[in-house]
Amino acid sequence: MAAPLSACQKLSARRGRSTVHLQSVPVVFTEAGGKSDLRPSNTLCSSTQNGDTVCLPVPRPVIKPSRFGPEFFDRSCINLARALLGQVLTRRLPGGDELRGRIVETEAYLGGDDKASHSASGRRTARNVAMFMAPGTMYVYQIYGVYYCLNVSSRGDGAAVLLRALEPLQGLDSMRESRGARRKQKTCKPLRDWELCNGPSKICQALAIDKSFDRRDLTSDPDAWVEPDQDPQASIVCASRIGIGSSAGEWATKPLRFYLRGNRSVSVRNKSAEQKSR
């Protein structure tokens, strides 16, 4: 039985030509390391017995961008809270070193009717103005007069996502040093990796993020941005937010916290919600 014809052979057969000889496209490398080619780099060309050339397209490799642009953040608050999971928050320090952590836990604060939100009922103040700015704007606020929390604005007036926990990936020694300098109780016992960023204020401590980052744009800032990495939608757990008092009414128990199942860096697990999310 004859072997099946290749795509190039079928193309030649339809034109009355029996064989095709594949030839590599000549490439000339320059001294600077670049290359010059008479044909587009995304084609594979072959010559026939009659001297004709047939070029077929070659799929281009998928190259991930180095950071997310405005279009990534321009979505509803809940969708952004879920989409941020698995992505990498990067912080470039003044000396040039970069710290990285995978986002593993978020909370959505919708504004408007969400009584747990700083912008509930459309309330706009000097403190929360970043929540009303373009999607991707950092909203950094202080709690207890000491600690900071990092949020990211989304589509919708007054809507933002709180980053609750990261899985440390790069610069762990620097994170550990920054966290150790701010710990309440001084101890010789070093923080374990998953303890470095397992809470919103711990993220800011470990990555040296303070109020100076408030109102800055994650899509263009030279010192902080979000890089694409994973799409773990199948392993997301939905649970109620942490620390929301009864004054928020029904909003205190709404499932607006999202985290990656089984990740050790998550601040607080909700086993009941994990069962429901299976």
Whole-structure pTM value: 0.76
List of domains in the chain: 7-57 (no CATH), 70-231 (3.10.300.10)
Distance CA 211, CA 204 (A): 10
Are 175 and 168 in contact by the 8 Å Cβ rule? The answer is yes
Q: Is the dihedral of CA 99, 117, 86, 263 positive or negative?
A: positive
What Å distances lie between residue 1 and 4, 55, 270, CA to CA? 9, 29, 62
Max CA distance (Å), the chain: 84
3-state secondary structure the chain: CCCCCCHHHHHHHHCCCCCEEECCCCCEECCCCCEECCCCCCEEEEEECCCCEEEEECCCCCCCCCCCCHHHHCCCHHHHHHHCCCCEEEEECCCCCEEEEEEEEEEEECCECCCCCCCECCCCCCCCHHHHCCCCEEEEEEECCCEEEEEEECCCCCCEEEEEEEEEEECHHHHHHHHHHCCCCCCCCCCCHHHCCCCHHHHHHHCCCCHHHCCCECCCCCCEEEECCCCCHHHEEEECCCCCCHHHHHHHCCCCEEEECCCCCCCCCCHHHHHHCC
Distance CA 167, CA 271 (A): 20
Rounded average pLDDT per 10-residue block, the chain, 278 residues: 49 42 38 39 67 71 76 99 98 97 99 97 97 99 96 98 99 96 70 97 98 99 97 93 95 98 97 88
Give the per-residue pLDDT at 109: 99
Closest by Cα among 278, 164, 169 to 230: 169
Give the per-residue pLDDT at 49: 74
